[in-house]
Structure 1
């Protein structure tokens, strides 16, 4: 079989598997598959079958991850961990997360069928919860493996009042056993994730693949603007303390600052107005501010500039502004040796792969606390993600699978996998 024919076959089989996984979704547009849901349970049966075909033994762990291990991993040899998350945002796409589960299993199955035995342990993980859609919790499964799981997160509740701990027990997990899932750093070679880019850079460069150098740091703030309600028809315009007008100016100023700063992005993604009546001057506005950058100092500088500007705007209109940081995760660098190894695999498959950073968070943010991390991006159409129209091509799916196969076989020749 020629390389081109093999690439096409790999791509077609991978896309078929991703289509099968997407069927396990709540009704409605796109894919909605939440942590510890019926859809989660159903898709794990499918993934477990892929694992067995790849020569791995699947097992549901205490935190809701499905983990597949080859014989060497089960015997305690040093192990390369690969994988991504199975959960989605509401009405998301087929490929965010699931690509990083299906593709390494496809690559391992192809190597097995070719008679290639890897001289190190391999573990593929379908992480249970990365998006945080159901419980507003993130990286539950990867934090469990990294040994940084916070037991307090078990008390988080979904919209129906069910706690994360209760849902895990019903799903077959065991919250009390989660601390025992932590891997020993000396037993792990590294962690590698394949993921759609979720941005337009690869498409603009006309490249199928990219090698990630760093994962972005993220922080989120809850902003509260307090003004004074009044009759919209009888209160003169001068002197009004309109919280919504003030908040609107803050959003525009935040956007200006972000546009003027390289490697810093952000968004005001949620906004609530009170009393939210057609003929009442808004008295209170709550909005979220999210900032992202792979450079901690740059993100902190951007935060200071945005918050100081918002305070100035509030004072100018006689408004009160308070802010509370609700989430923070520091950016992390990918290991140089994994970046270089993925680049070498791309070159070996005659695929250009420029270095780039990820503007999204991934399970690697947690896994970095355990081991070296590496990441391979796959081009997505229009840079679209978290959307029903999220798409990759059959050709790119095949290219990425071949590159990962090359990476895995090259790693077997590298002393790092045997130290």
Structure 2
């Protein structure tokens, strides 16, 4: 393709190319009949080598950083100018769809390909973060955390299911674990961070809108809750004399749903394990999980405390012992007001429709990148809100709209840089 042909390529044509490239990335998978691409695996290497080729074709300088992220840079004329970073993640959960993560990376590459001949008053870096999902080592955001200056060296000892540590996997991949902290970017040299991502929810589809502006990324707390009662014979212990752990948990789960509805948060019991279960035994021990989220950190903290008190009260009334262990926490992160304003302007200009503002209930690399610079996100409609599933799907025409918005956003960031937006 000639440079002239590339300059005049339509957004629809470019969107079709993005969709084709997503299918190519989907082929780098450890699963034959699905997508699985985990951190520091051969599939990670293959996918990033392909992304590097596409970055080079878009006129970008490319490199791999100390943690295994793949970068591409549109270089500004003045090397002293700050850098706008645009990215998402290339890794997947097991049996994944093709769009969660890769769509944002490929849209950024395609946008900079369209802007090859446009001089910008800043560098623009595209990054494919190597680990967001945490599939292999059961700890998330390993790609973006070091870039944001949040690397914890103790993680090098964390092992996967086969007993291989992160440090060992890095060395096998060709990385030096002692150098990971060098992946950190400097806040004073970073203009902002942008991320385009599928919504992973049904709101945009319900409103018949192709894209929406993200206001915040919800904070989350996760717990394992152990409920202990008294196991007994199912036929000999009268109901009033039982201390049935599973009946207590059933009441707790119903309370969790009602509480979340009342307080306008989301709360989910995703796992429930009846210990030593038998058809003719009153359950004596049950463990269940609780995931609770809110875009307001203050509300999340307050609701968590209130809900735990209610669960404890249920246990007391039923003669059950209730113990909870917090196993995960992520702070709620607001998106930059000024970047929200810029996104809204380009969305309204590109679509001619009112702008939908919505919060993200899922975590993203943008959460930790907000520690480095102001952060803004754009969501793209996905079919039925399905994500982390082979049925995950987006429409080419929505990808074209998202690409148009991202190109306009990159061009508009100069006003953000000068404080005129």
TM class, shorter-length: over 0.9
Q: TM-score with structure 1 length normalisation?
A: 0.94
Shift of 1:103: 0.8
Shift of 1:69: 2.0
CA distance in 2, matches of 1:40, 1:73: 32
For residues 3-42 of structure 1, what are the structure 2 equivalents within 5 Å? 6-27=10-31, 29-42=33-46
Task: Measure, in 2, the Cα distance between the counterparts of 1:171 and 1:233.
Answer: 59
1:415, 1:188 → 2: CA distance?
A: 11
Structure 2 matches for 1:17-416, cutoff 5 A?
17-27=21-31, 29-72=33-76, 75=79, 77-112=81-116, 115-262=117-264, 264-352=265-353, 353-412=355-414, 415-416=417-418
TM-aligned CA distance change 1:230 to 1:258, over 3 Å: same
Closer, same or farther: CA 29–252 of 1 in aligned 2, 3 Å:
farther
Cα separation, 1, equivalents of 2:410 and 2:186: 22
Structure 1 stretches of 4+ with a deviation exceeding 4 A read none
Indicate if the aligned counterparts of 2:383 and 2:394 stay in contact, CA closer than 8 A: yes
CA–CA separation in structure 2 for the residues paired with 1:128 and 1:351: 36
Q: 1:202·1:210 contact (CA, 8 Å) conserved in 2?
A: yes
Cα pair distance change 1:417/1:151, threshold 3 Å: farther
CA apart distance, 1:11: 1.4
Shift of 1:206: 0.8
Q: Distance in 1 between matches of 2:290 and 2:418?
A: 42
- The answer to whether the Cα contact below 8 Å between 1:84 and 1:98 also exists between their aligned partners in 2 is yes
State the 1:121 CA deviation. Answer: 0.6
Quote the Cα distance in structure 2 between the aligned partners of 1:371 and 1:5: 32
Structure 2 residue runs of 5 or longer lacking an equivalent are none
Q: Does structure 2 conserve the Cα–Cα contact (< 8 Å) formed by 1:84 and 1:125?
A: yes
For the residues of structure 1 that align with 2:78 and 2:260, how far apart are their CA atoms? 48
- The alpha carbon displacement at 1:228 in A equals 2.0
Q: CA deviation at 1:369?
A: 0.8
Contact 1:411 1:417 in 2 (8 A): no
What is the total number of aligned residue pairs between the two structures? Answer: 414
